[in-house]
Amino acid sequence: MQRRFGDQEVDICIVGAGAAGGVLARDLARAGLKVVVLEAGPFWDPQQDFASDELSMQKLGWQETVLVAGNNPLKMGHNNTGRGVGGGTVHFTGVFLRFHESDFRVYSQDGVADDWPISYADLAPYYDRIEREIAVSGPKHFPWGPFAGPYPYPEREPLSANAVVFRQGCEKLGIKSAVTPLAILSAPFDGRPPCINRGFCNQGCLPNAKFSTLIQHIPQAIAAGAEVLPDCTVTQVEVDEKSRRVTGVIFVHDGTEYRQPAKIVILANFVVQMPRLLLNSATPAFPDGLANSSGMVGKGIMPHSSYDVYAKFPEEIRLYKGTPVLATTQDFYETDHTRGFVRGYTLHAHGARPVAMATGISVGAGTWGPQLRRAMLDFNFYARITQVGEVLPSEKNTVTLADEKDDNGLPLPLVTFGYGDNDLKLIDHAVAKMKEILTAAGGKPEFVIPDTAHLMGGCRMGADPRTSVVDQWGRTHDHPNLYLAGAPIFVTGGGVNPTETVMALAARTADHLIQQARRGL
C-alpha cells in the first residue's frame, strides 16, 4: 500500500471519512496540519460506482454484521450508517436542519435526560458557516426554531406531488409547513449542477447536485495536503499507559496490519464502531477500554423514531418522482404538556421507490402474498409521511462487545435498544398526526410502518468526567490527545435529522484544535 507518511508521526489521524471526519480533515489540513484519514470502506467514484437502483446501492450502508437485541432491535446498515468515503452523507436524504435552542437544555426545560455543555449560541456561527459552505437551499422564511432564514440558496422547486398533498393536508388543519432546507442545490454552485429530480438521493447522487463529504470536503482536504486511505479498518487505538496519551492507531488493509502514529487521534467512526473500537482498545491500565473511566462508553445510544404512514389517494401521487423530502413541519417540535409527553418531532413528506415501499409494507407491516401484490399495483396512488421523533437517552440502550468475532478476530458490536414510555407516547401522537394530515389531503391511511432512523449518543459530551466521555470540544476526559467527533457525542438526539449538527460540532472541534496547534500540539 502506498502511504505518503509511512510510519512517520503525523499531526492528526482521523478514523472515519463521513460527515464529521470530512469536515475535520478539510479544516485541519487547510490549517497546515499533517492529516491522515483512515476509512474502512471504499473510495467511491459516483460515475462508476453509483446506479439509479435501490437494490444494488444497498452497498452504501454499513453491511458488516452488527448484532442487535432489546425490546426494539434496530435495523442497521442503510438505515443509519454509511460505508466508504463520505459515510452517511453519500446516502442521506439531504435534509439539513438545525437543532432548536431547547435541544441543548432538555433537563433544565423538561426535567429529563441532561443538558448539553454547550448552547445553541455556541453552535450558531458553525451552522451559519456550514450552510453557506455547501449552499443549502431553503425558504426565505423558516417558521420554527431560532433560525428564521433566509437560506443561502432559494428553496427547491418544483415540488413533488407527495410534498404538495402534504402541504395541502397541513393547511387544512392549520398546521404550518415549509419547503425543506436541503443540502441539495437549487442552482449551480462550485461547478456542480442543480438537482434534476432524479429521486435517488438515498442511492448516491449521480449528478453531484447533493452535497456529500465524498464530493466536497474530502477532495478539498486532499487538495490541502491530507492523505485519505480507503479500505483501512482501524482495529486499535494505542495508548501510553503512563502519560495516558494516545500514540496512534493500528489498522488493517488487505489482511496486513499497519501502524499510524499521530500526535492527535480523532475518532469519527459513528455510534456503533466508535464505542466498539474504544472497548476493543482496552489495556491492563485501561481494562474497561479507552476513554471509559466514567463507564459511559457505549451507553445512551438514541435513534430517532421514524414511523411511516402510507395513505392511498384517488389520483396518482407517484412517490418515486423527485427529491424524496421536499416539505416539512415542525409544529410539533417543542414540548407541549397537554400531549402527555415531553419533547417532540419533525414530520416530512417522504417519497419512496418500489423496494422501500414494498419492504416497508411487507416486512414492516406484515403484508405478503396477494395483499402485498395488490397493494403494490397501486404503488403510484400512495403518499407517505415520515416522522423524525426524539428518543430520550437511557443507559439501558447500549453498544457492548459480543462473544462472536469478525475476520480480524475482534468481538462484534452488540447494539441493544428499546423505547421508553415517553418515546412510545410521542410515536402514538406522531402517527395520529400523520394520519390526520393525509386524511385532510384526501387520502386514506392504510399502512403504518414502525421504523427508526439515524443514531446518536454512546460517547456523550459533558462537563463532568464522572458521567460523560468527552468535554465540550470533543476531547476525551481520560486522554488529553484523543478526540471523538460526530453523532456519538450528542447528549440528546433532538427531533430532527442530525447531519447539520454533526458537521457544526465537527467544525467547532476543528477550530479548537487549530487554536491548540498554534500553541503546539
Partner 1 sequence: MATKSHYPHYNVLDAAEDWDPHTRKIVEARLLPLESVEHLTTAETKTLYSVVAALIDDDRSEILDYVVKHFDDTLGKRIGESQRKTGVPPQADLIRRTLSGLGKTARDNYGKPFPELTVDEQHTILGQLERGQIPADGIWMNLPQKEAFTKLLSLTVEAYYSHPKIWSEIGHGGPAYPRGYVRTGPGLVDPWEAQREE
Binding residues for partner 1, per CB under 8 A?
47-48, 50-56, 61-69, 73-78, 158-161, 164-165, 195-200, 206-207, 315-318, 320-322, 353-355, 358-359, 362-363, 366, 368-380, 402, 414-415
The neighbour count for residue 371, using CB atoms within 10 Å, is 12
Minimum gap (Å) between residue 395 Cβ and partner 1: 19
Smaller CB separation from partner 1, 174 or 314: 314
Minimum gap (Å) between residue 481 Cβ and partner 1: 32
User: What are φ and ψ of residue 114, in 5° steps?
Assistant: -150, 160
Smaller CB separation from partner 1, 364 or 465: 364
Minimum gap (Å) between residue 311 Cβ and partner 1: 14
Minimum gap (Å) between residue 512 Cβ and partner 1: 35
Smaller CB separation from partner 1, 54 or 131: 54
Q: Is 373 left (phi over 0), alpha (psi -120 to 50) or beta?
A: alpha
Minimum gap (Å) between residue 412 Cβ and partner 1: 9
Smaller CB separation from partner 1, 121 or 187: 187
Minimum gap (Å) between residue 376 Cβ and partner 1: 6
Smaller CB separation from partner 1, 312 or 512: 312
Smaller CB separation from partner 1, 356 or 503: 356
Minimum gap (Å) between residue 415 Cβ and partner 1: 8
Q: Is 366 left (phi over 0), alpha (psi -120 to 50) or beta?
A: left
Burial of 517 (0-12, 13-18, 19+ CB in 10 A): middle
Minimum gap (Å) between residue 469 Cβ and partner 1: 24
515: part of which helix (H) or strand (E)? helix 499-518
Query: For 403-439, b where at least 16 C-beta lie within 10 A, e where not — what string?
Result: eeeeeeebbbbbbbbebbebbeebbebbbebbbbbbe
Q: Which of 98, 89, 84, 86 is nearest to 25 (CA)?
A: 86
Burial of 364 (0-12, 13-18, 19+ CB in 10 A): middle
Smaller CB separation from partner 1, 157 or 421: 157
Minimum gap (Å) between residue 479 Cβ and partner 1: 30
Minimum gap (Å) between residue 401 Cβ and partner 1: 13
Smaller CB separation from partner 1, 123 or 195: 195
Question: CB-hemisphere CA count at 13 Å for 223?
Answer: 7
Name 456's bridge partners: 302
405: part of which helix (H) or strand (E)? strand 398-405
- Residue 416 cell numbers, joined: 441493544
CA distances from residue 349 to 58, 231, 291, 317 in whole angstroms, order as listed: 22, 36, 40, 12
Query: Would you say 126 and 507 are in contact if contact means Cβ atoms under 8 Å apart?
Result: yes
Smaller CB separation from partner 1, 193 or 480: 193
User: What are φ and ψ of residue 218, in 5° steps?
Assistant: -65, -50
Query: Would you say 412 and 67 are in contact if contact means Cβ atoms under 8 Å apart?
Result: yes
Smaller CB separation from partner 1, 207 or 225: 207
Gap between the Cα atoms of 149 and 500, Å rounded: 15
